[in-house]
Structure 1
Amino acid sequence: MEVSDAPPAPTTSGPAVHGHLPGWRHVYSGKVRDLYEPDASPEGVALRQRHGDVVLVVASDRVSAYDHVLSPGIPGKGVVLTQLSLWWFEQLTDLVPNHVVSTDVPEAVAGRAMVCRRLDMFPVECVARGYLTGSGLAEYRENGEVTGIALPTGLVDGSRLPEPIFTPATKAELGDHDENVRFSVVVDTVGPETAETLRDLTLAVYARAEGVARERGVVLADTKLEFGTDPVTGAVTLGDEVLTPDSSRFWPADAWEPGHAQPSFDKQFVRDWLTSDASGWDRASDAPPPALPDDVVERTRARYLEAYERLTGRPLAL
């Protein structure tokens, strides 16, 4: 979640549905997350006194695809995203500080919310790729490069790269697509020293997570991270969610086979159904997407839960 000194204005991408949260005031809703800050009540004042300048980040069950928020949501998805992020933050504490202050949150959002330090976010999507797919594959097919990084010839969808690469992107406005950019653009945006820090941290996080996932039979193909500066310590800090099926491509290792799209632990069932004849939806039209069928919702939910359980080695009660 992008958090700066001034809270962003609420958006229409999806209202908060968590009811009144004592001590907190809703300030923003994105496609998936809702953001709150301490209010002026005694509870809110106590929150500021205890934690300083913080926000409450709540992961909803909303699911988005092709720049639309879909209906219905995926039950328990927000809990999976939050709990998996918290687990990964623990695995990474020796590499980079993170923005989590507390998981002591209102009962209405228990399990799906984190109290987080407000960060001054860098306007860069920090992407690490260890395998070739998605927008990286499209770039490679066009010119043999990804964000200006030349790659060997003969790679196909799902190929493992000789070594992980840092392929940053600009942060798009809500409803637009992020745009892959060369490292030089990051240098121009945040300065050479900070750009190198973001690159090095991103690749270090990917290397740690890729090894952890591989030990558990999961391929981490790529991941998107967001960093900001902690205004208290001045340290570059890992924010937002981290290494979830919404921000990463996870593939079952026993099914990995380069040359075609891989089965994945994310909302691919949703994307596939929306683009199938069964949905009857014309993406080129202005019509909203149709409601998701029950079986697509359930199969997607199962994949998110499987990702959590494979990676952490423990079940998640929803």
Structure 2
Amino acid sequence: MQLLHRGKVRDVYSDRPGELILVASDRVSVYDVVLPTPIPDKGKMLTTLSLWWFDKLADVVPNHVISAEDVPGEWAGRAIRCRQLDVVQVECIARGYLAGLGWESYASSGTISGVQIPAGLVEGDRLPEPVFTPTTKTAPEDGHDEPMTFAEVSDVVGAELAGKLRDATLELYRRAAAIAEKRGVILVDTKFEFGVTPDGELILADEALTSDSSRYWRAEDWNPGGRQVGYDKQYVRDWARDLGTWDKTPPGPEIPAEVVEETRRRYVAMYERITGLTWE
């Protein structure tokens, strides 16, 4: 078993040609900094929710999953055996509502990633149509992900692949948002990563629609005009930002026990509402 990469949250191993094992940890990162305090069961929740979404969306875009059972026993429940792919070096983001960096960009320029957005919207508003707002895929040690226009994506990966990435990202978002809506959940935005097989097939990789890679709001909480109540990693981001004493560089601050507990509660609540299953 060879460790190939240790990411902010996931570790990547290889034990067979053409296959990888993705192991999700309980680590949590904000502003590209891994905080020293884990969130109990987070790795299992990310893995289980990803698998649920991979299954629901398999007819939209094939995914990299080989097995969630054929993994070493010590990682059971938080690991996925998957296909090794040529990873596309673009973070593919779909936004259906104004929040986070999307809201900040709109408030300052009226655009997000070069996409013109109608005037007069407020923070938390629903966009007329979901938009594709990609970013660079930058290692934390090299800086932060930066917004890209569609033309810039085309320059990096070629026009044909860029079009496939945009179409797949938006269709995955639309399908997932419709599923979530039936369960009283608003899928605000989400990030996808894709890989390509040797014969050029586009494959959905990494994770899918977890509370780490997506923003989720409960429908009953939605109140455009300010910061919304997030059931995702935004809760930890907001806590870190509101400290007022951390400059967003390593080392990150310890997370208080009550924030850890509330973060875990929100992850569990969203998992249960989306899937209809009870977390155990």
TM-score bracket, normalised by the shorter chain, equals over 0.9
Alignment-derived partner of residue 258 in structure 1: 224
Could you say which structure has the larger radius of gyration?
Answer: 1
Alignment-derived partner of residue 146 in structure 2: 179
Higher relative contact order (CA 8 A, sep 6+): 2
After TM superposition, the structure 1 = structure 2 runs for residues 1-318 of structure 1, keeping only pairs within 5 Å, are 24-38=1-15, 48=16, 52-103=17-68, 104-175=70-141, 176-231=143-198, 233-277=199-243, 281-283=245-247, 288-317=251-280
- CA drift of 1:291 comes to 1.5
- CA drift of 1:294 comes to 0.9
Aligned structure 1 segments of 4 or more residues deviating by more than 6 angstroms: none
Q: TM-score with structure 2 length normalisation?
A: 0.95
- CA drift of 1:269 comes to 3.4
- CA drift of 1:287 comes to 6.5
In structure 2, the gaps of 5 or more residues are none
Q: Please state whether the residue corresponding to 1:180 is helix, strand or coil.
A: coil
Does the aligned pair in 2 maintain the 1:281–1:290 contact within 8 Å? no
- CA drift of 1:85 comes to 0.3
Q: Please state whether the residue corresponding to 2:140 is helix, strand or coil.
A: coil
**What is the letter of the counterpart of residue 218 of structure 1?**
V
CA deviations 1:156-193 (Å, max 9, x no partner) are 11110011111111111224221111100011111111
Does the aligned pair in 2 maintain the 1:132–1:156 contact within 8 Å? yes
Identity %, equivalent residues: 53
Does the aligned pair in 1 maintain the 2:124–2:224 contact within 8 Å? yes
Does the aligned pair in 2 maintain the 1:125–1:226 contact within 8 Å? yes
**What is the letter of the counterpart of residue 298 of structure 1?**
E
For 1:110 and 1:150, the matched residues in 2 are separated by 45
For 2:258 and 2:126, the matched residues in 1 are separated by 32
For 1:86 and 1:282, the matched residues in 2 are separated by 35
Aligned length: 278
Does the aligned pair in 2 maintain the 1:223–1:248 contact within 8 Å? yes
Q: Please state whether the residue corresponding to 1:199 is helix, strand or coil.
A: helix
Q: Provide the alpha-carbon RMSD of the alignment.
A: 1.5
Q: Please state whether the residue corresponding to 1:291 is helix, strand or coil.
A: coil
For 2:237 and 2:92, the matched residues in 1 are separated by 24
Does the aligned pair in 2 maintain the 1:281–1:289 contact within 8 Å? no
Q: TM-score with structure 1 length normalisation?
A: 0.84
CA deviations 1:115-162 (Å, max 9, x no partner) are 010010111111111111111111111221111211111111111001
In structure 1, the gaps of 5 or more residues are 1-23, 39-47
For 1:25 and 1:287, the matched residues in 2 are separated by 27
**What is the letter of the counterpart of residue 26 of structure 1?**
L
The structure-2 alpha-carbon separation of the partners of 1:283 and 1:166, relative to structure 1 and needing over 3 Å to count, comes to: same
